[in-house]
Amino acid sequence: MLTILKTVILAFVWLVLPILTGCLFGLFPQREYRKRRSAYLIGSLTIWALFYGLARIALDGKWTLTKLTRVFCILLIVLTILSTGVIIYRWNIRALIRIKSRANLFITVIAALLVIVVAGGFAANRTEEHTVEQVMTMYMTDSLYEYDAMTGKSRADMMDFEKETLDAQKAAPVAAYYAVYVRMSNLHPAKFVRILLPVFLLPFYMAVYAAWAEYLFKHDTKKKWCFQIVVWLLYAVSLIADWSVAFGLYQNCWNGETLFFLGELPLTVLLVLGEKKQLREIEAFGQPYVILYYVVSAAAGQLLYEKGFFFVTFVWGAALAAALIKRWRDGGSLSTVKK
């Protein structure tokens, strides 16, 4: 009974709270992406980004896992209260929970179940993937990146190259993010990572590619569905090809690198491209919501992958350069605002 309650709370934090948090972006008057799915995606990025900021403080201050968990729980409660308040005042709750097409919902649920069953039930355990060990070590020692997850050696007993590996893991503390949830729920790390995380994370991937389908084929439902089916079949190729952590969506969707390259990076590109018919104008990059998109995507990227911040900044930098070139080509001064 207690396990079910814990799972329900975890499901709220992973699946509902991102939607509520994404609704906070509704405070910006000109913002794009006003759909429920967009709120979920941007909300997820925001929670990851907030955790990354908190984790940096925790790592610098040598906090224990328990202390980090307590502070993060407070943050989640504040987010819940704040976003619920914003929804009540600024959003139409009926619009938020309204189901437009029951058929679409039914197909989506069936597809999600199918993907989750393949990923959670049949994808073989890859011994090259070390998230479980990292989470387990932090949970058992109540520390953050103080012990080598693969051997159990403390920092004092480690050789230099082992310390370098640990520091590299510290740079992208995604395992600490999972460890916080394990500490919250006291579930076994292996069960949490291998059974619950696919259930919580695969909807994120599905939402990302559904958003891409929407962006690419706005009014063509047939193409939208076809696109999503093909994407998931393409990722299934890794089930019969040589394993690579970056492509292992079915095998290890929780891995930071996989989540970054196959989930967060496509979402970042979508945020960069924007919803309008043309490239973003140079003025758009000064809008508070666009700056916030960059900040949350860069911080979330860094949480997931060691070079995540660089990748995200590269994409946003390229878009900014393209906007500058466009303005120059159009013959306007860079400081001139188009009417």
What are 258's two structure tokens?
Answer: 């996989």
Q: In angstroms, what is the minimal distance from the CB of 237 to another protein?
A: 6
Q: Which of 82, 108, 217, 285 binds another protein (CB under 8 A)?
A: 217
Site for another protein in 64-93 (CB under 8 A): none
Beta bridge partners of 154: 147
| Selection from 79, 62, 308, 296 nearest residue 172 by Cα | 308
* Least distance from another protein to the Cβ atom of residue 296, Å: 19
**Contacts (CB under 8 A) with another protein, residues 156-175:** 159-162, 165
Nearest to 302 by CA among 4, 25, 49: 49
Question: Quick check: 60 binds another protein (CB under 8 A)?
Answer: no
Q: Closer to another protein at the Cβ: 186 or 244?
A: 244
Distance CA 240, CA 110 (A): 24
Interactions with another protein, residue window 82-141 (CB under 8 A): 118, 121-128, 130, 132-133, 136-137, 139-141
Question: Does 16 sit near another protein (CB under 8 A)?
Answer: no
3-state class (DSSP) for residue 50: helix
- Residue with the two structure tokens 């093909």: 230
First to last CA, the chain: 62
Token pair in block for residue 134: 């990292």
Question: What's the rounded Cα separation, in Å, for the pair 228 and 107?
Answer: 12
- Residues 281-310 binding another protein (CB under 8 A) are 307, 310
Should residue 24 be labelled a site residue for another protein when binding is judged by CB under 8 A? no
Residue 69 or 131: which CB sits closer to another protein?
131
Q: Which of residues 189-208 bind another protein (CB under 8 A)?
A: 189-191, 194-195
3-state SS class at 147 = strand
Stretch that binds another protein, among 42-50, 216-224, 282-290, 328-336 (CB under 8 A): 216-224
265 touches another protein by CB under 8 A: yes
DSSP 336: P
